[in-house]
Amino acid sequence: MSALFEPLTLRSLTIPNRIWMAPMCMYSAAPDGPEQGVPNDWHFQHLASRAAGGTGLILTEATAVSPEGRISPYDLGLWNDRQTGAFRRITDFLKAHGSVPGIQIAHAGRKASTERTWVDRGAAIAPGEGHGWRPVGPSPLAFDEASTEPAELSAEEIQEIVGQFAATARRALEAGFEVAEIHGAHGYLINEFLSPYTNRRTDEYGGSYENRTRFALEVVDAVRAVWPEELPVFFRISATDWLSENADDEREGWTAEDTVRFAADLKAHGVDLLDTSTGGNAPGAKIVAGPDYQVPFAERVKKETGLPVGAVGLITEAQQAEKIVVDGRADAVLIGRELLRDPYFARNAARELGADVHIPNPYHRS
């Protein structure tokens, strides 16, 4: 029996295998009008084809809690009824074909209002230009010299965003999702609050570790309060800003030690799995990437806290993914770019490893 194809049960939800689709923005939704942020035929085929390919859990792209929370004007959102209904079409299909539908709930913070990645390499869109708007953040610090300085959030505005996360989670449940993942990684709003590199506040949301993690835990509590007790909540984290790992970089950032400490806090607040990525918050940080390069961060969280973890990053081969799970380094692997190249990665991996995977009835002849 392949470990990669053993089911995983979190709370009362059983995910049929350990090959999961990582959230990947498609930048393909309407930027304005009644279809703003609404999943369309492109999103349907993108997600549905991976279900036909045997993927155990399929997470949507970062789905914004408000128009201002989108990374780009072309991102998905979940703040109105039209969006909820369109997602239902997708989740019904995923469940009918053996996959668990999950949603990544997000706010882009200071990295909002950018172009699609294939247009000017995702450059910032200035407020008032095109579909641009002024982003927000914990502190008025632009991501880089080409980005717009964000407006510093007040304590009242922070609470409004906490409520938006809860409202989106409630809509996600109505839309048929079975896993809610809170996006706290890659330099987006929650990550910005966590890291001293981006959080320069002096109120109850800045300064100490307890203050910098306050917003994230308030979001977790708000989502957990509206999400059913029997269904899991995930949290995606950047386990490091990749500043402390570089002796030549004097900037202070979020560290692997912070992540282990925070993972224990998340576990106590009802989070069921830590989706463990890295980076994205500090431009110019030195990252040495390669196969499995982020797996040690997930492994450490699992060993030191007991919280289930997902491993990500340049996982491209069936045997590679199998070994990560067999060795107990992670409970599941989240595949991104390789699933773009091969929507049937799970089915092909099952064949290679001598395992069984769900195959839609029309495909049984093959």
209, 191, 152: which is closest to 281 by C-alpha? 191
How far is residue 79's CA from residue 289's CA, in Å, rounded to a whole number? 36
Residues 6+ positions from 81 with CB-CB distance below 8 Å? none
DSSP 180: E
Place of tokens 């989670």: 169
59 and 87 Cβ atoms separated by less than 8 Å = no
Residues 6+ positions from 293 with CB-CB distance below 8 Å? 313, 314
Q: Other C-beta atoms within 10 Å of 284: how many?
A: 10
60, 23, 19: which is closest to 280 by C-alpha? 23
Give catalytic residues, as residue numbers.
188
Angle at 234 between CA 189 and CA 298, to 5 degrees: 90
Question: Which backbone phi and psi does 346 adopt, to 5 degrees?
Answer: -65, -45
Q: How far is CA 161 from CA 53, 87, 149, 344, in A?
A: 36, 22, 19, 37
* HSE, side-chain direction, 13 A CA sphere, residue 275: 26
Q: Other C-beta atoms within 10 Å of 268: how many?
A: 12
The radius of gyration computed from the CA coordinates of the chain, to the nearest angstrom, equals: 19
Q: Concatenate the DSSP letters of all residues of 88-157 into one string.
A: HHHHHHHHHTT-EEEEEEE--GGG-SB--TTSGGGPBPPTTSTT----EESSS--SSTTSPPPEEPPHHH
94, 136, 228: which is closest to 174 by C-alpha? 228
How far is residue 201's CA from residue 109's CA, in Å, rounded to a whole number? 15
How far is residue 136's CA from residue 133's CA, in Å, rounded to a whole number? 10
Q: Are strands 332-335 and 19-21 parallel, antiparallel or unpaired?
A: parallel
